[in-house]
Chains A and B, each alone.
Chain A
Amino acid sequence: SQQGEEDPQALSIQEGENATMNCSYKTSINNLQWYRQNSGRGLVHLILIRSNEREKHSGRLRVTLDTSKKSSSLLITASRAADTASYFCATDLQGGSEKLVFGKGMKLTVNP
Chain B
Amino acid sequence: DVKVTQSSRYLVKRTGEKVFLECVQDMDHENMFWYRQDPGLGLRLIYFSYDVKMKEKGDIPEGYSVSREKKERFSLILESASTNQTSMYLCASSFRAWYAGNTIYFGEGSWLTVV
A residues near B, CB below 8 A?
1-2, 30-31, 33, 35, 40-45, 48, 50, 88, 90, 92, 96-105
The dominant DSSP class at the A interface is loop
Given contacts A42-B106, A48-B103, 17 further A-B pairs with CB under 8 A are A35-B106, A42-B107, A42-B108, A42-B109, A43-B43, A43-B92, A43-B106, A45-B103, A45-B104, A45-B105, A48-B101, A98-B50, A98-B96, A99-B48, A99-B58, A101-B45, A103-B42
Most buried by B among A42, A90, A97: A42
Given contacts A98-B31, A105-B42, is CB(A41)–CB(B109) below 8 Å?
A: yes
Q: Give bound CA distance, A30 to B98, whole Å.
A: 9
Interface pair B90/A1, CB less than 8 Å apart: no
B residues near A, CB below 8 A?
4, 31, 33, 35, 40-43, 45, 48, 50, 58-59, 90, 92, 94, 96-97, 101-109, 111
Contact sample, A vs B, 18 pairs, CB 8 Å cutoff: A1-B59, A33-B103, A33-B104, A35-B106, A41-B108, A41-B109, A42-B90, A42-B108, A42-B109, A45-B103, A88-B43, A98-B50, A98-B102, A99-B45, A99-B48, A102-B35, A104-B42, A105-B43
